[in-house]
């Protein structure tokens, strides 16, 4: 047989590799072949009696906990991954690492185990085709199982794509594989993306790398083989460091809000790096530590971009059906960047941000009074406060139809009077909302209420029911042991707490 001859059924042309004592075989297979032939790790016979057929996860107990080789599958990821393959022109999945396991591996009395319960041969049946025995055929007849050791969610996404191609519909699931919402259909994709039925059908013939390892090597006991496979899985996952929220925003070339955020971070005078001052943006973390000299984070800028730009560019967000948006056109991105930059031009004129230009450190403006005797506890030096403010401004501009100039006239005066400062003091409107007095730390859960209060400060709340609800929510946030804390630091009945008046 030559390499150019047609392959026999159930055989793969592979390249043999060796690292340390780990043998593997590299192949290229179609997405359809992978979907049909590779199974999830927990479908091994070892787990069949402890296997949840609904979630494809093992049932954890004293018997299985020591043998677990995979984290639980998150089925909420299937639809987005399948959709990514279907609609992104430049889609790409890394190779999947699989383990090949013939039936005898799970049969203790099979002749392939010797008298000391050690394997007499490899679980991979490899037939070399060249002199160096590095290129050859791997036998994968119907009795032999392949299961994904690394890349189970990629496999899940590919299986979802094949279901979409085969049936024209794909269910959306929660993490535990319970259906949620309406299915994604092929017609949805044809309607929202530049993809045709023939293009969708052809996706099944695209190819992906598959690296196959033997479940058992010659001379191994079954426990030794299991330990080797488990060790490789752990080390593969340890080496694959998960990207931080900042790194995801930095690298994302499809999400319009991420693109705008990072362009602003490196170009706007308030944020861009300068040689004579501390960096203003943390590009890696989503949080700002007490000692950090940055003003904000890239993930916070991305959230601000979405909060503000979702009004003029609603199609940048996923649809109600969960369809992911494509990268915006360059012209639209340029418009959005200009719009967002204008907002930051106004933000840069706030007295507290002007103080940065005069040499005041962001750490002094951010720290609470109990952290530093001169700490100002300023909410606009915390990502949660920044996001709440920008969300409010977006609603005021695009729903209440106010312009930025009068909005910032009021905000600058409010900032100059200390309205955003000392949120750790009971006299502050934001005490109990963005500052948790019990835990003495920022309270992210108060962001929505902070947004509504900021809108009220700028444009009042004329609707009687909305006003009553806002007052009630404010009172609840400032109520401790059945007493509300008034803005002069006194304990009063919650009904006595009133909304602040509109800024004027």
pLDDT in tens, 371-383: 877 789 999 999 9
| Statement: residue 309 has pLDDT above 60 | yes
3-state secondary structure of 12: strand
**pTM, full prediction:** 0.74
Q: What is the percent of the chain with per-residue pLDDT over 70, rounded to a whole number?
A: 88
Q: What is the mean pLDDT of residues 453-477?
A: 92
> Band of the pLDDT at 48, cuts 50, 70, 90?
very low
Alpha carbon distance 272, 289 (integer Å): 20
What pLDDT does residue 21 have? 74
- Distant-in-sequence, close-in-space partners of 284: CB < 8 Å, separation ≥ 6: 244, 246, 247, 298
Alpha carbon distance 503, 414 (integer Å): 8
Beta bridge partners of 282: 297
What pLDDT does residue 31 have? 96
Provide the sign of the torsion angle of the four alpha carbons 11, 16, 17, 18, taken in this order: positive
Q: Are 7 and 138 in contact (CB under 8 A)?
A: no
What pLDDT does residue 57 have? 54
- Rounded to an integer, what is the distance from CA 329 to the centroid of its chain? 24
Strands 281-282, 207-214: pairing is: unpaired
40-49, 84-93, 275-284, 475-484: the lowest-pLDDT one:
40-49
| Statement: residue 109 has pLDDT above 50 | yes
3-state helix, strand, coil in the chain (%, to 5): 40, 15, 40
| Statement: residue 69 has pLDDT above 50 | no
What pLDDT does residue 460 have? 84
Q: What is the mean pLDDT of residues 389-398?
A: 98
Listing DSSP states for 162-214 in one string gives HHHHHHSEE--B-TTS-B-SPPEEHHHHHHHSS--HHHHHHGGG-EEEEEEEE
198-212, 215-229, 336-350: the lowest-pLDDT one:
215-229
Q: Are 414 and 429 in contact (CB under 8 A)?
A: no
Alpha carbon distance 262, 251 (integer Å): 9
Name the one residue in this structure whose structure tokens are 């695009």. Answer: 398
| Statement: residue 429 has pLDDT above 90 | yes
178-192, 220-234, 263-277, 325-339: the lowest-pLDDT one:
220-234
| Statement: residue 55 has pLDDT above 80 | no
Integer-rounded Cα radius of gyration of the chain: 29
Q: Which of 432, 429, 393, 386 shows the shortest CA–CA distance to 410?
A: 393
Q: Are 148 and 155 in contact (CB under 8 A)?
A: yes
What pLDDT does residue 93 have? 93
> Band of the pLDDT at 308, cuts 50, 70, 90?
very high
> Band of the pLDDT at 444, cuts 50, 70, 90?
very high
Alpha carbon distance 427, 350 (integer Å): 22
Beta bridge partners of 212: 25, 98
Give alpha helix (H) positions in 252-291: 256-267
> Band of the pLDDT at 125, cuts 50, 70, 90?
very high
| Statement: residue 62 has pLDDT above 90 | no
Alpha carbon distance 145, 196 (integer Å): 35
Task: Give tens-digit pLDDT for 173-201.
Answer: 998 889 988 899 999 999 989 899 999 99
Mean pLDDT over the full length of the chain: 88
What pLDDT does residue 49 have? 45
Q: Are 115 and 218 in contact (CB under 8 A)?
A: no
Q: Which of 353, 407, 412 shows the shortest CA–CA distance to 378?
A: 353
Compute the residue count for the chain: 504
Q: What is the percent of the chain with per-residue pLDDT over 90, rounded to a whole number?
A: 62
145-154, 397-406, 434-443: the lowest-pLDDT one:
145-154
| Diameter of the chain measured on Cα atoms | 92
| Statement: residue 497 has pLDDT above 80 | yes
What pLDDT does residue 169 have? 95
Task: Give tens-digit pLDDT for 217-248.
Answer: 999 998 888 878 877 776 766 555 566 677 66
E strand intervals along 296-451:
296-297, 435-436, 441-442
């Amino acid at each position: 047989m030559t390499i150019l001859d047609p392959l026999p059924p159930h055989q793969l042309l592979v390249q043999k590799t060796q690292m340390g004592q780990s043998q593997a075989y590299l192949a290229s297979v179609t997405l359809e072949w992978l979907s049909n032939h590779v199974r999830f790790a927990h479908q091994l016979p070892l787990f069949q009696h402890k296997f949840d057929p609904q979630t494809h996860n093992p049932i954890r107990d004293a018997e299985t906990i020591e043998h677990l080789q995979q984290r639980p599958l998150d089925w909420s990821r299937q639809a987005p991954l399948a959709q990514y393959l279907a609609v992104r022109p430049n889609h790409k999945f890394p190779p999947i690492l699989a383990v090949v396991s013939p039936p005898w591996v799970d049969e203790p009395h099979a002749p392939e185990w010797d008298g000391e319960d050690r394997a007499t041969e490899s679980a991979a049946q490899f037939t070399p085709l060249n002199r160096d025995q590095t290129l050859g055929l791997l036998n994968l007849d119907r009795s032999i199982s392949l299961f994904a050791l690394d890349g189970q969610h990629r496999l899940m996404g590919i299986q979802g794509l094949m279901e979409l191609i085969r049936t024209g519909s794909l269910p959306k699931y929660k993490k535990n594989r319970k259906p949620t919402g309406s299915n994604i259909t092929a017609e949805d994709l044809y309607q929202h993306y530049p993809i045709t039925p023939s293009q969708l059908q052809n996706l099944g013939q695209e190819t992906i790398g598959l690296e196959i390892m033997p479940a058992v090597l010659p001379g191994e006991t079954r426990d030794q083989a299991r330990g080797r496979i488990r060790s490789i899985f752990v080390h593969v996952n340890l080496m694959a460091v998960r990207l931080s929220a900042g790194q995801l925003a930095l690298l994302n070339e499809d999400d319009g809000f991420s693109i705008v955020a990072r362009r602003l971070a490196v170009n706007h005078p308030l944020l861009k790096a300068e040689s004579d001052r501390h960096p203003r943006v943390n590009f890696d973390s989503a949080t700002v530590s007490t000692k950090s000299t940055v003003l904000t984070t890239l993930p916070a800028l991305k959230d601000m971009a979405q909060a503000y730009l979702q009004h003029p560019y609603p199609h940048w967000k996923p649809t109600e059906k969960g369809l992911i948006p494509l990268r915006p056109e360059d012209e639209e991105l340029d418009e959005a960047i200009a719009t967002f930059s204008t907002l930051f031009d106004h933000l840069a004129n706030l007295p507290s941000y002007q103080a940065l230009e005069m040499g005041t450190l962001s750490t002094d403006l951010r720290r609470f009074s109990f952290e530093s005797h001169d700490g100002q506890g300023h909410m606009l030096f915390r990502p949660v406060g920044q996001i709440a403010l920008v969300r409010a401004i977006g609603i005021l501009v695009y729903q209440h139809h106010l312009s930025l100039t009068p909005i910032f006239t009021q905000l600058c005066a409010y900032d100059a009077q200390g309205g955003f400062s000392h949120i750790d003091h009971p006299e502050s409107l934001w005490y109990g909302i963005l500052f948790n007095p019990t835990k003495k730390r920022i309270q992210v859960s108060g962001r929505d209420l902070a947004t509504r209060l900021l809108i009220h400060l700028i444009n009042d709340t004329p609707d009687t029911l909305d006003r009553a609800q806002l007052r009630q929510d404010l009172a609840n946030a400032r109520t401790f042991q059945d007493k509300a804390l008034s803005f002069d630091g006194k304990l009063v009945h919650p009904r006595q707490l009133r909304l602040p008046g509109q800024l004027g």
